[in-house]
């Protein structure tokens, strides 16, 4: 029998992923009785999970009205994107300075996997979007893995996941343009050129936001 901590962690991951991937859409009311039918957990575990997600920005907890999936807004996307640029650029500066041979090997592997998936996306294969975004996340994480700060990595992970939710709700795949940006960041990593990497990171995120704003209703 699973212990309560394991069950709670599993439910947290399931609900968080369902929010990120749009299976629980923005602004949807999260009724505990309804969630209990969908996720195998007690009401107390579900309540604790929703409060945790509220502290991370994925859920709104309103005293009289209950829990809701955090809405998607233009203002929130722009703020998250700007914070991501700030944190990720700082982490790249540290990581490129500290990165050793193992770090470089992980970067090469992460970019190779992402490139293969981007090729499949270009061919418009179906059913691979979540895997593509996982490899995208893995690549950006590989760039900053050697930053030497667990606090920075945790903050970045939260911002990246919140940004990722917008990609599933309003962002479109940008194709070759995004592929080129990833390649420039990768090449800069191999040369330990943080200035160039941060230049293309900002372009990469700004272009993504620009694309998303066109798709807001």
Q: Tell me how far apart the alpha carbons of residues 19 and 95 are, in angstroms, rounded to a whole number.
A: 30
Instruction: Count the residues in the chain.
Output: 217
Per the structure, the complete domain to which residue 55 belongs is given by 4-69
Same domain for 80 and 62? no
* 89 and 126 inside one domain: yes
Say if residue 43 is in the same domain as residue 142: no
C-beta of residue 96 within 8 angstroms of C-beta of residue 82: no
C-alpha–C-alpha distance, residues 110 and 136, integer Å: 8
Asked whether residue 14 falls in the same domain as residue 78, the answer is no
* Cα(26)–Cα(23) distance, integer angstroms: 9
User: Does the pLDDT of residue 6 top 70, yes or no?
Assistant: no
Binned at pLDDT 50, 70 and 90, residue 7 comes out as low
Residue 211, pLDDT > 90, answer no
Question: Residue 29 contacts by C-beta under 8 Å, 6 or more apart in sequence?
Answer: 65, 66, 67, 68
Same domain, yes or no: 78 and 60:
no
Return the residue matching tokens 């990469």. Answer: 204
In terms of average pLDDT, the best of 12-16, 62-66, 142-146 is 142-146
Place of tokens 């962002």: 171
Residue 79 sits in the same domain as residue 145: yes
pLDDT of 2: 45
Q: How many folded domains does the chain comprise?
A: 2
CATH of the domain at 105: 1.20.120.530
For residue range 15-33, list pLDDT tens digits in order.
999 999 889 999 999 999 9
* pLDDT of 216 over the 60 cut: yes
CA distances from 185 to 59, 120, 164, 165, 195 (A): 33, 20, 19, 22, 10
d(CA 184, CA 189): 9
Considering the domain architecture, whether residues 195 and 92 belong to the same structural domain is answered as yes
Residues 153-204 pLDDT 10s: 999 999 999 999 998 887 677 889 999 999 999 999 999 999 999 999 999 9
* The last residue of a domain, from among 69, 86, 120: 69
Q: Is the pLDDT of residue 34 over 70?
A: yes
Note whether 200 and 112 are same-domain residues: yes
More confident residue, 4 or 173: 173
Residue 9 contacts residue 45 (beta carbons within 8 Å): no
Q: Are residues 40 and 147 in the same domain?
A: no
Helix (H) or strand (E) holding 171: none
Q: What is the pLDDT of residues 97-148, one digit of tens each?
A: 999 999 999 999 999 999 999 999 988 888 888 899 899 999 999 999 999 9
CATH of the domain at 43: 1.10.10.10
Looking at 69, 102, 125, the residue that finishes a domain is 69
For residues 65 and 99, state if they share a domain.
no
């Amino acid at each position: 029998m699973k212990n309560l901590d394991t069950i709670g962690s599993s439910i947290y991951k399931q609900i968080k992923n369902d929010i990120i991937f749009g299976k629980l859409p923005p602004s949807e009311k999260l009724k505990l009785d309804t969630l209990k039918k969908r996720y195998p957990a007690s009401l107390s575990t579900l309540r604790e999970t929703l409060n945790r997600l509220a502290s991370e920005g994925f859920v709104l907890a309103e005293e009289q009205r209950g829990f809701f999936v955090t809405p998607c807004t233009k203002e929130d996307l722009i703020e998250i994107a700007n914070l991501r640029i700030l944190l990720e650029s700082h982490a790249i500066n540290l990581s490129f300075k500290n990165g050793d041979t193992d770090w470089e090997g992980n970067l090469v592997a992460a970019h190779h996997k992402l490139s293969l998936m981007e090729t499949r996306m270009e061919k418009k294969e179906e059913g691979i979007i979540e895997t593509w975004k996982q490899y995208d996340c893995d690549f950006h994480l590989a760039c900053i893995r050697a930053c030497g700060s667990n606090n920075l990595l945790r903050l970045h992970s939260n911002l990246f996941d919140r940004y990722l939710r917008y990609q599933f709700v309003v962002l479109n795949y940008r194709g070759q343009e995004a592929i080129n940006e990833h390649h420039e960041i990768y090449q800069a990593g191999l040369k330990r050129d943080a200035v160039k990497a941060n230049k293309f990171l900002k372009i990469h995120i700004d272009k993504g936001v620009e694309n998303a704003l066109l798709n807001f209703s």
